[in-house]
Structure 1
Amino acid sequence: MKTDTTLRLTRTQYRNFAEQAKQAGCSLSLSTFRALGNCWGIFDPRARLVCLDVSADNLEFTEGCGIQLSTSVETARLRGNQRPEIDWSVLEDHEIYPFIVAHEIGHRVDNFCYWAPARIEDGQVRTRCERTIRSINEVLADRYAWSQIRPGEPVPLCELGKSLQEEIAADIALMDEHMPRVRREPRKLPAGQYLHIPEVMLMTDSMVSFIGTGVSASAVAHARTRPRTYRRDSRSRAY
């Protein structure tokens, strides 16, 4: 079913998506569409602080990459978003959040490395790869998400996608030749409702409620009061 509505992430969905992200070696945190720069999801490859077990009174930390997910999605706005290949308007309401999460995981498991063009000696090839890598990575993440949401079904092309098929295929072939994707099985994070939770999820009571009632009050107090250094935001917006 397709409706013009605002989908709001439930706590159960968050917990299920968090476990899905861990299978790809990512922790999952929540934000808002506006705070994410008008994005519904972002894959952040940078190391960020993650709590090993938020049910324990004494917090222990590690670092790792993660996915950020908006707590709400306006369905009409998402379906009207112009993509380089796939027609998002075909997504049913119940497919939207799973698609977004799978898209971000796609950035993790099947994308070209943004730093790889720097190693290409041919200047013309390097320039072309640098110019197109962002859009190609969006295509690959969309394809991965579609394969997870509707396995076996052909990719539904938007009008732009139909006109760019030869160009997209040529760009992917060029990158595969000069800077091939390294497909490694991500190291899975430990499964568990309270394990490997981004520290940012402890900063507000509303975020803690998504994790569950077993979060340690001492852990929350420690996370909110400990000294920290803030860094300039340089994340790459997924869409």
Structure 2
Amino acid sequence: MKSNTTLTLGRVQYRNLAEISKEAGCCLAIGTDEELAGNWGMFNPFAQAVHPDASVNEVCLQERVVILVAAKIDAGALRSVQRPEIDWSQLEDDEIHAFVVMHEIGHYRDNHCGFDTFGITDPEVHADCQRVIGDVNEILADRYAWNAIRPGEPVPLCESGKRLQESMAESMALLDKYVPRTRRAPRTLPCGQYTYVPRAMLMTDSKVAYVGTKVSPELVDRARDRRRVYRRDTRVRG
């Protein structure tokens, strides 16, 4: 079904997508409006704090890559976005949140690294790679997500995708030559509803509810007290 309604991420759906994220080697959190800044999902290459077991009150944090997804997505607005290649209007309502999460996992798992372009000594080649890497990475992330949602089904091209096929193929060849992707098997994180929970998911009661009823209340208090103390100290020092 396709609608123009606002789709709300369900708790069971979040938990399923969190497990898929851990299989890919990263963690999943629900982003705030401020964090997402108008996006429906976001990938941050820098590691963030996660709790290996959120069901117990232990002072134990690890750093892992955390991807963000919006709790609410305007389906009509998402389908109307003009993409470099894939026609997002083909997505069904029940595929949208999963597609967004898989798109962000695609950025994590199957993209060219922008930092690698700094090693290109030829200024013209460097400029060319910088110019195309954003669109190419978006195409790769879209393909990754489409293949995860509709395995074996050809990607549906939007108008720009049809028009720019040749130039995008050239851009991909350029990046493959000078900043090739490094594909590694994901370091799968342990599965389980309360394993590898981003600390951000403990900061509000609504987010804790997405994780589950067995989150340690003491751990929640500890996480929130730490945030309050940090903010208070920051203000005093300023």
TM-score by length of 1: 0.93
In structure 2, what is the Cα distance between the partners aligned to 1:64 and 1:214?
A: 22
Aligned partner letter, 1:93? D
Q: 1:60: how far off?
A: 0.8
List, as ranges, runs of 4+ consecutive aligned residues in structure 1 with deviation greater than 6 Å.
none
Is 1:6 matched with 2:10? no
* 1:161 and 2:168 are equivalent in the alignment: no
The answer on 1:186 being equivalent to 2:212 is no
Alpha-carbon separation, structure 2, partners of 1:2 and 1:145: 18
Q: Percent identity?
A: 51
Equivalent in the alignment of 2:207: 207
Q: Which residue matches 2:37? A: 37
Cα shift readout 1:110-133 (whole Å, capped 9, x = no counterpart): 100011111112211111101111
Alpha-carbon deviation of 1:31?
Answer: 2.1
Number of aligned pairs? 230
Deviation at 1:35, TM superposition (A): 4.1
Structure 1 pair 190/37, CA: closer, same or farther in 2 (3 Å)?
Answer: same
**CA separation in 1, counterparts of 2:121 and 2:31?**
40
The residue that corresponds to 1:143 in the other structure is 143
Q: CA deviation at 1:153?
A: 1.4
Q: Name the counterpart of 2:235.
A: none
Q: What amino acid is the match of 2:123? A: G
How far has the Cα of 1:155 moved from its partner?
A: 1.1
Which consecutive unaligned segments of at least 5 residues does structure 1 have? Answer: 231-239
Identify the residue that residue 234 of structure 1 maps to in structure 2: none
SS in 2 for 1:196: strand
Tell me how far apart the structure 2 counterparts of residues 209 and 174 of structure 1 sit (CA, whole Å).
46
On the 8 A contact 1:33/1:40 being kept in 2, the answer is no
Q: Contact (CA 8 Å) 1:33, 1:72: kept in 2 or not? A: no
1:97 alignment counterpart: 97
Q: 1:10-159 to 2 correspondence within 5 Å? A: 10-33=10-33, 35-159=35-159
Distance between the aligned counterparts of 1:74 and 1:112, measured in 2?
29
Q: Secondary structure at the match of 1:51?
A: strand
CA drift at 1:169: 0.3
For residues 66-108 of structure 1, what are the alpha-carbon distances to aligned partners after superposition, in whole Å with 9 as ceiling and x for unaligned?
1101001111000001111111001111111111111111111
| Counterparts of 1:155 and 1:127, CA distance in 2 | 29
1:194-233 map, 5 Å: 194-226=194-226, 227-228=229-230
Distance change >3 Å, CA 78–CA 169, structure 1 → 2: same
* 1:33, distance to aligned residue in structure 2 (A): 4.8
Q: Deviations over 1:14-46 (max 9, x none)?
A: 100101000111111102456411111011110
TM-score where L is the length of structure 2? 0.93
Aligned partner letter, 2:205: D
Give the Cα separation in 2 of the matches to 1:55 and 1:153. 40
Verify the 8 A CA contact 1:41 1:68 in the aligned structure 2.
yes
Report the counterpart of residue 236 of structure 1 in structure 2.
Answer: none
C-alpha deviation, 1:134, in angstroms? 1.0
Q: 1:13 to 1:134 in 2, by over 3 A?
A: same
- State how far apart, in whole Å, the 2-side matches of 1:31 and 1:106 are: 18
